Amino acid sequence: MKIWCQHGSEHSANLVMIGHFKDETGANRVKAIIDELTRQVREEESKGTLTIGDPPERYSKTMLDFLLKLNIGAIGPGELEQFAYDVNVTLEGKDLVLTTDEYDVSAFLKVMFLEGARIEVYSAHYHPEGEYGRRRR
């Protein structure tokens, strides 16, 4: 009898993304931006102007104004739903640690990058020895 041991392709990334910032101020600022974007995406979803799984081709007027207020122009309309995914974001001093089972994390990467982070991304499946290798929920 053979036992198959493999990670499925759906929701199994066990991805860890760490944004390393020069100081705690940068990490705190990005955490606040991610929290605000998450709140706005949930509001858009509840209003019906954003449907998860069917990303829009254009921003809603409200979302466009919101992104302009945050000075974030690099996130495309199709990436916004990433802020509705099951993602854990925590502060660890000058580091912002994101863990998720999702593969689509480009929006988070862009926010960190735009705020000057040095970014590390890896799968905790293959690198469990890392400081953030174990899932934290």
**Is there a contact between 83 and 38 (Cβ–Cβ < 8 Å)?**
yes
- CA dihedral in degrees (79, 84, 88, 94; nearest 10)? 50
Reported as a single tens digit per residue, the pLDDT across 54-106 is 988 999 999 999 999 999 989 999 999 999 999 999 999 999 999 999 999 99
Reported as a single tens digit per residue, the pLDDT across 108-132 is 999 999 999 999 999 888 877 666 6
Angle at 114 between CA 60 and CA 46, to 5 degrees: 30
Reported as a single tens digit per residue, the pLDDT across 17-51 is 999 999 999 999 999 999 999 999 999 999 988 89
Contacts of 32 by beta carbon, 8 Å cutoff, 6+ apart:
none
Q: What is the pTM of this model?
A: 0.84
Helix (H) or strand (E) holding 24: helix 24-47
